[in-house]
Amino acid sequence: MWLPEYRLALAVWTALAPVAFVVLMLGVQAPNYGRFFSNQPREWFAPRSDVAWLIMESPNLVGAVMCLYWCAARAENTHGRPVRAESYVLVALFVVHYVNRALIYPLRMKNGQKRTSGFVTCISCVFCCCNSFFVLSGILKYDAARVPAASSVPFCGGLALWCIGFLGNIHADHVLRTLRQHANDAAYRIPYGGMYRFVSCPNYLFEIIEWSGFALAAWRVQAAWAFALWTTANLLPRAHRVHQWYMSEFDSAYAALNRRACVPFIF
């Protein structure tokens, strides 16, 4: 893809994120996963949740391998300059996140081998293909010259924010996992501790922080900001729905905890 085509496709991709946010906030009842998935009417393709996560998220790892192979072959971006170490650091952050999300997270899931909508699996897989293409090719090729120097404030600050988001997300997912006794336990309980004191979905909050930090570190790479925007557009409406679900499932016991959905004291 040539640079003008990349810019146009990325502009359309970025513009779709707020549209997705509005559609999801309006509560469109699309097929779903986790607590919101019931396979009625039956979908012909509804993989086990752990397999679904692998299918959905592995394009990010495949994309990273392909881009790094391309770099090894060319070792220069579209401007004919060598790819800098800062770009590789950003790719490493991306890979670390997706090694966890695509491989480790599904292996450790406890949900009684629950199934996930085939529609959601396919659409998320397509999303990850597009997103990994835009982000990785932006960092390594089209916008490689825009990645700031390692000593710059945005790069260091973004890296620190990414670390906070990554570790916080892992911790919040860990708290949920420990609510279940064994692999076939599919019951839902109230999570406590950490940021669960303040919000129902700290895993989503930290995921948003993580990709915002990534965008900050990439600074003028538009695809990284588009990814942070998409993550927010996707997770804020889901956090709202999960919060409503806790309120109706656990009733006054949950209301007394005085939590917000995703952003402490605000949302």
Ligand X SMILES: NC(=O)c1ccc[n+]([C@@H]2O[C@H](COP(=O)([O-])OP(=O)(O)OC[C@H]3O[C@@H](n4cnc5c(N)ncnc54)[C@H](OP(=O)(O)O)[C@@H]3O)[C@@H](O)[C@H]2O)c1
Contact set with ligand X (CB under 6 A)? 34-35, 49, 109, 111, 114, 169, 173, 176, 179-180, 186, 188-189, 191, 203-204, 207, 231, 234-235
What minimum distance in Å lies between the beta carbon of 204 and ligand X?
Answer: 5
CA distance 127 to 54: 14
Q: Which residue is nearest to ligand X (CB)?
A: 34
Residue 199 three-state SS? strand
Query: 141 with 87: CB under 8 angstroms?
Result: no
What minimum distance in Å lies between the beta carbon of 97 and ligand X?
Answer: 9
- Please, which residue, 76 or 185, has the CB nearer to ligand X? 185
Name the β-bridge partners of 82. Answer: 76
List the structure tokens of 173. 């997912």
Residue 82 three-state SS? strand
- Please, which residue, 94 or 204, has the CB nearer to ligand X? 204
What minimum distance in Å lies between the beta carbon of 252 and ligand X?
Answer: 17
- Please, which residue, 88 or 127, has the CB nearer to ligand X? 127
What minimum distance in Å lies between the beta carbon of 163 and ligand X?
Answer: 16
Instruction: Using alpha carbons, list the distances in angstroms from residue 35 to 80, 116, 190.
Output: 49, 10, 14
What minimum distance in Å lies between the beta carbon of 153 and ligand X?
Answer: 26
- Please, which residue, 52 or 91, has the CB nearer to ligand X? 52
- Please, which residue, 77 or 203, has the CB nearer to ligand X? 203
CA distance 97 to 84: 21
Half-sphere exposure of 109 toward its Cβ, with a 13 Å CA cutoff? 21
List the structure tokens of 34. 């986790």
